[in-house]
Structure 1
Amino acid sequence: MLQGRAILVTGAARGLGAEIARSLAEKGADLVLADIAVEEGRAVAGQLGARFLPVDLGDPGSIAALGERLTGDGRCLHGLVNNGAIATGIGGISFDEIEIESWDRVMRVNVRGTWLMTRAVAPLLKLSGSGRIVNVASDTALWGAPKLMSYVASKGAVMSMTRSLARELGPDRIGVTAVAPGILTTESTGYVPEARHRLYAEGRAVPGPQGPDEITEVVAFLLSTGALTLTGQVLPVNNGFVFN
């Protein structure tokens, strides 16, 4: 499905990002992995025969440098998965208890980082003639999860950007979509209270936990040449916890 397609995955050192990378590698993609966690990211890249580039999504200079390195390769890019985001340690408090710096940091990484990464590699996606961008949002922005407002707001912004980017990049035949998972069973969600895991498991139309493999197959399709007609769509891939 993805044989020979060059794809960049951010936040690929662990959790869903690493699982997305593994799935894309199995399908023949030529991968570039990016993350702020250098050692973990290089380990995943080594396992998959992929290239690793360090990036700090909160630092515009770091993102620009990554784009310049890819441009310097003289190759096009067929896909971008904007998966990198901050989630750990920002929940469990009400909206009036959020510290301003914490709010700003979430917006810098989750919203501005997604925009700047897209801007940095858009010229390479245009060169391919069949570029695809998949933004990883969250279904928390669809049902309004409480005591997680900065994250919910950031992922709502990612959904809105997806629709706007789809219109701006559509003339270049670049498809832009978003997936909105619920809570997944990965090492990255160990901090989530058991009550929230139980809420999802019991509230899904298909009851039970959801593994990352149920997301990765959707992401892989959205990166394929056959997915252009879905551009601008936000897909709540959560086994029916939220319908869009």
Structure 2
Amino acid sequence: MARLQDKIIIITGGARGIGAAFCKAVAAEGAVVIVSDVRDGAGTVKAIEAEGGRAIFIHSDVANSKSVNDLINDVVKRYGRIDALVNNAAIFANLQRQNFFEIGEQEWDDVMAVNVRGPFLLCKAVAPVMMKQKAGKIINIASGTVFKGQTGITHYVTSKGAIVALTRCVARELGDYNINVNAIAPGLTMSEGVLSNPQMTGAGANATLNTRALKREQQPEDLTGTLVFLCSSDSDFMTGHTMVVDGGSVMR
């Protein structure tokens, strides 16, 4: 039997890039995938169904509490439970590198709204469902930049540092309900969005690559094995941790 057979898994930001790779990977393991995004996720659903998998798209804005609550309620109404939540949606690929003192307040707030408030709202909304079930997996997506103090994207790095902290706190609070809360911290990954931003490729990408023990570009598929592990029963006695997956740039 597949490792995630018949599990109901929500993945935010699933319309493209890393999120789409996550959706396809858990579907291949037998899960029913809820592709959630502010973009149209129909393409991801179509790709999954073409391989014999099961998926639906539900439009949702993670920074909006009503939209988040509607998403959770819709999934519970359709399937009766939620086995895993993957908080992947984030603002990153379209950011322009700049000094921290050049970042405008609105841009700062926009990043925090999606990257921090979003996962907080989703954890808050899904917690009662999983607490009632006495089971569940929450996987947050942090970033290896947190452990480097990466320059040029201070608002993004700060938001992902908050995700590491959120993961630890929520894991403590939900442990008594048999709910696992962990995070993945990717390195710079050649997703669609990153490839479309010249500041994220070229010399900057080469500099990142040269810090790795495994000297190649990271692809979205490099993260899927870790995600499947954290969604599966293989990680049942692991919680509050952040797993860095970046080819050996950060070693902790």
TM-score band, normalised by the shorter chain?
over 0.9
Aligned residue number for residue 240 of structure 2:
232
Determine the C-alpha separation between the residues in 1 that align with 2:57 and 2:38: 11
Aligned residue number for residue 34 of structure 1:
36
Determine the C-alpha separation between the residues in 2 that align with 1:126 and 1:77: 11
77, 80, 95: which one pairs with 1:90?
95
What letter matches 1:59 in structure 2?
N
- Relative to structure 1, the CA distance from residue 28 to residue 128 in structure 2 (aligned partners, 3 Å threshold; closer, same or farther) is farther
Determine the C-alpha separation between the residues in 1 that align with 2:79 and 2:228: 25
Aligned residue number for residue 44 of structure 2:
44
Cα displacement (A) at 1:168: 0.6
Aligned residue number for residue 59 of structure 1:
64
Aligned residue number for residue 51 of structure 2:
none
Q: 3-state DSSP class of the match of 1:206?
A: coil
Normalised by the size of structure 1, how large is the TM-score? 0.95
What letter matches 1:219 in structure 2?
L
1:146-194 per-position Cα deviation (integer Å, ceiling 9, x unaligned): 0100000000000100000110111111100000001112212111131
Determine the C-alpha separation between the residues in 2 that align with 1:89 and 1:62: 23
Is residue 104 from structure 1 mapped to residue 115 from structure 2 by the alignment?
A: no
Q: 3-state DSSP class of the match of 2:74?
A: helix
Aligned residue number for residue 222 of structure 1:
230
CA contact (8 A) 1:90 1:102 kept: no
Q: 3-state DSSP class of the match of 2:81?
A: coil
Cα displacement (A) at 1:139: 0.5
1:177-230 per-position Cα deviation (integer Å, ceiling 9, x unaligned): 000001112212111131221012211011111111111000100011120222
- Relative to structure 1, the CA distance from residue 123 to residue 46 in structure 2 (aligned partners, 3 Å threshold; closer, same or farther) is farther
1:70-120 per-position Cα deviation (integer Å, ceiling 9, x unaligned): 232361111010000111332311000000000001001100000001111
Q: 3-state DSSP class of the match of 2:123?
A: helix
53-62 or 10-19, larger mean C-alpha shift:
53-62
Is residue 207 from structure 1 mapped to residue 209 from structure 2 by the alignment?
A: no
List alignment gaps of at least 5 residues for structure 1.
none
199-208 or 138-147, larger mean C-alpha shift:
199-208
